[in-house]
Structure 1
Amino acid sequence: MQRATCVALAQAAPAAPRWRPLAARRGGLLALPGRSRSSSSSGRRPAAPAAALPSPLELPASSSSSSGLELLAAQPRDLLLSTHVQAALLGDLAEGLEAPVQLAYLVTLMGFLVVGAYLVVRQVLIRRELEEAAKVLGERVRTGEATSEDYFELGVILLRKKLYTQATKNLEKAQKGWQGEPEELAQVHNALGYAFFNMEKTEAAIAEYRKAVQLQPSYVTAWNNLGDAYERKKAYGDALAAYQEALTYAPDNKVAQARAEYCRTRLARTA
């Protein structure tokens, strides 16, 4: 009876597990991650996946060899740093150049403003002087105390103000009652010719210019004005003669030189 009981217990007891290789053990180093068949059948929680083997690129480099991987990893960072350094240097250079450029711009602008202001002030002062002189001379004319020189000066002021009709009336009065030297009368004829020229009375202007050069043959301005009047008529031969007369008295006169060359060119084309 005792022997039969021992046999029964021996048969009921589970057999001793056999030895299995390490690779087949669940959760071993070489076990594939995931759920095993035994865990799925027993209802237990699946084992945690085994840690992946480190990649050769992640292994620490030995002290005996400086791997090219470190150099490859360091080069982009060095290039990036050098690019930032260059950008910073260029920025500093631009900031350094910005101040002198702005200063030069401001100095140039101030120069233009000063010159413009000077010209404006000068024109204002000249205009004011002309107004005051015209007022004084006009008062003399109204009171009947004006001389021929007063009429001439008033006519010149009106010419500068481009009041040619009023200037002509005063210049003609100066011409009729002239009491000065005959050579000085040439200036009256020249001024009167200039008034007629701007009033599109070319023939009358030529007549006055001729009177001026007859009274004063060395009157270069009157010769140039006479040549200009002939050019308006397209009488380039007469204009060239007038400019040549001016050059005999003033060889360095730029106006006469330029206009004489132009008249020669025009005559050569029509020849």
Structure 2
Amino acid sequence: MKIVTEGGFPPWNLTDASGALKGFEIDFSNALCAELKVKCSIASQTFDAMIPALNDGKYDLIVDALGITEARQKVIDFTVPYAGLCYTFASVTPAVKTKLPFEDRIEILADDNLAKAMKTYRDAFTGATIGTLASGTSTRFISKNLSDVSSRPYKTPAARDLDLKAGRIDVVFASKDTLLALKKTQGIDTLELVGPCLRGDLLGTGGVGIGVKKGNAELKARLDPAIKKLVDNGTVKALSEQHFGLDMSPIGLN
């Protein structure tokens, strides 16, 4: 099987100094291929080119922290989740952190609470600029729900993180695990999570699945039981704790 990943989204996936692909999803992919008893190759590709390449038959699987969202399900199919996530904001600006204190909980966005939640963020982000990833869910979410707040999309996490360290943006919107890793790897002591962690609306259910070509039910039927086994036997827990420092198992999402 031909697997594609980005190779530039640590700790999910990254490329080391020697050019080798590393990270949680590389180890997970190898464990999955061993479980399936198939030979796999793993290649890197820019994020925005992955789905077209998958549907053109260049690759069989996308393993790249793909949140299972309604928009993506229109163009590709997903396996059962192999990891869980939620999205949140982090800021280096004292005014934002004061207006929007960290909340250790998950908020599910729906029709009855979305407008109220977005007003809270809009008030907290007055005068601030939010950094997002151009091809990711974060940009679409901000464009839909916080279009009147200043935001700046970036092609790569590295470019976004550089501007955050330089003070050119004040807030970052991404998955919680990414922001925790960002603070550690970039050494940004003033970066703090703000508000609750979010699921729902354009952010999806919180499940991260493998992308497969639309309509390839046979491949999905092979993958799903193997993924469930790696979750149930603790392989995903062990690998995620190794790379993230926390359990990313999709508890309650299968």
Report the TM range for the smaller structure's normalisation.
under 0.3
Q: Which has the higher strand share?
A: 2
Q: Whose relative contact order is higher, 1 or 2, with alpha carbons under 8 Å and at least 6 apart? A: 2
TM-score between the two structures when normalised by the length of structure 1: 0.21
Q: Which has the higher helix share?
A: 1
